[in-house]
Amino acid sequence: MTAALSLRSLGKRYGLASAVEDVTLDIEPGEMVVLLGPSGCGKTTTLRMIAGFVEASGGDILLDGHSIRRLPPHRREMGMVFQSYALFPHLSVARNVAFGLEMRGVPRAEREAQVAGMLRLVKLDALAARLPRELSGGQQQRVAIARALAIRPRLLLLDEPLSNLDAALRQDVAREMRLLQRARGLTAIMVTHDQTEAMAMADRLVVMRAGRVEQIGTQEDLYERPATPFVAGFIGHSNLLPGTLHEGHVLQVPGSSITLAQSYGLVGNATLAVRPERIVLAPPGTHPDERALGRVELSTYLGAVVEHVVRLGPETQVVVTGASSGAGAAHRFPAGMAVALCWTADSERLFNAA
Ligand code: ATP
């Protein structure tokens, strides 16, 4: 199957500085891919090269197997939604949605039918005559989405589309957008720096760092099998513990040592990553999977979970979370108590220092 969109060694330089370097990615028809990474990692630049607003310095962009690198933005047939909704303030909701169709010379009757359909889809049919300023932020964003979809884009580009919405609305709109994208089989790329939002929206995620792709995968790939400490730390919370590895399975950290659940072929400096919810606390000497000893510094009830902060050494703290109630509820230990940190082999990941 031909990918809906292929990026081939895509790059962008500004003078001597490289904003995006060697990005290669295939997006399947109907897939939603999210570009995720910290500020300045090159997400927006990548999206703008796909849209045609920024000219690539190297590489290629293929839409359904054909290069679009030389096409101007308006001939790329992409629908775009930005964080500022960029609606026309003097046009009604319906006229905003109709705009792209008018530009393309779609006859009036057909246009009106399509606009009505789009407005029903985003549940704004009752507000068709209003002006943008008479709408809430979430409603404006839905108009922007309807406008982008009205032209039946070959690709939908979303640049932080939810960042102007408050937290409660953000989840609702995210869910609606996801359902809409699925229902219409739209191929889409979204840019965000918010990992929760990325996890909620994506079929696959691309984690970027300093202009390069760090890892591509599903939510589970990235969470369960992060390729680098950067990904482990960026997707969910990881306890990243740098130390020196001895005999393949003893990680020396300042003031303490951790007996790993398996042996590794690494030598010298290494970084261990263990998710907080994969660690069990027990009184020392009572659990078969005991890995390290520490002392509870903080024990906090957070509603669904309890969180313990355990100190292993002067520079080493480990966060442990467990269910606060129910069948698998975590035992709570008071601050000051000596505890064993316990986990099994499938819960630890060891990274080479390099
Ligand atoms: P954010 O989440 O903050 O929007 P981003 O991941 O989208 O960040 P980009 O906007 O793609 O990052 O920027 C990538 C790098 O390219 C940054 O270092 C930025 O300073 C640089 N950059 C972007 N546009 C230009 C430009 N027009 N001229 C020079 N440098 C630029």
Q: Which residue ranges make up each domain of the chain? A: 5-230, 240-352
Q: Provide the total of helices (H) and of strands (E) in the chain, helices listed first.
A: 8, 20
- Two tokens at 157? 């580009």
CA of 198 to the centre of ligand 1 (A): 19
Query: Against a cut of 0.95, is the pTM above it?
Result: no
How high is the mean pLDDT of the chain? 92
Does ipTM come in above 0.90? yes
| pLDDT the model gives residue 278 | 96
pLDDT, residue 100, reads: 87
Please identify, by atom number, the ligand 1 atom nearest to the C-alpha of residue 191. Answer: 7
Q: Would 5-230 and 240-352 be classified into the same CATH topology?
A: no
Count the neighbouring beta carbons within 10 Å of the beta carbon of residue 194.
16
Q: Which of 91-95, 181-185, 274-278 has the lowest mean pLDDT?
A: 181-185
For the 240-352 domain, the top CATH level (class) is mainly beta
Nearest residue to 197 via CA among 182, 180, 215, 175: 175
- Expressed in angstroms and rounded, the spacing between residue 65 Cα and the centre of ligand 1 is 28
Task: Please check the confidence at residue 114 and state whether its pLDDT lies above 80.
Answer: yes
Task: Supply the pLDDT for residue 251.
Answer: 96
How far is ligand 1, taken at its centre, from the CA of residue 287, in Å?
A: 50
Residue 166 has pLDDT above 90, yes or no: no
Rounded distance between C-alpha atoms, residue 152 and residue 65, angstroms = 19
Crossing angle (nearest 10°) for helices 108-121 and 137-150: 140
**Domain covering 5-230 in this structure, CATH number:** 3.40.50.300
User: How does DSSP classify residue 92?
Assistant: -
Nearest CA to ligand 1 atom 21: 19
29-83 residue pLDDT tens: 999 999 999 999 999 999 999 999 999 999 999 999 999 999 999 889 898 887 7
Span 339-351, average pLDDT: 96
Task: Please give the single-letter amino acid code of residue 173.
Answer: V
As given in the structure block, the two tokens for residue 87 are: 């609606």
CA of 42 to the centre of ligand 1 (A): 6
- Ligand 1 site, CB within 6 A: 14, 19, 37, 39-45, 193
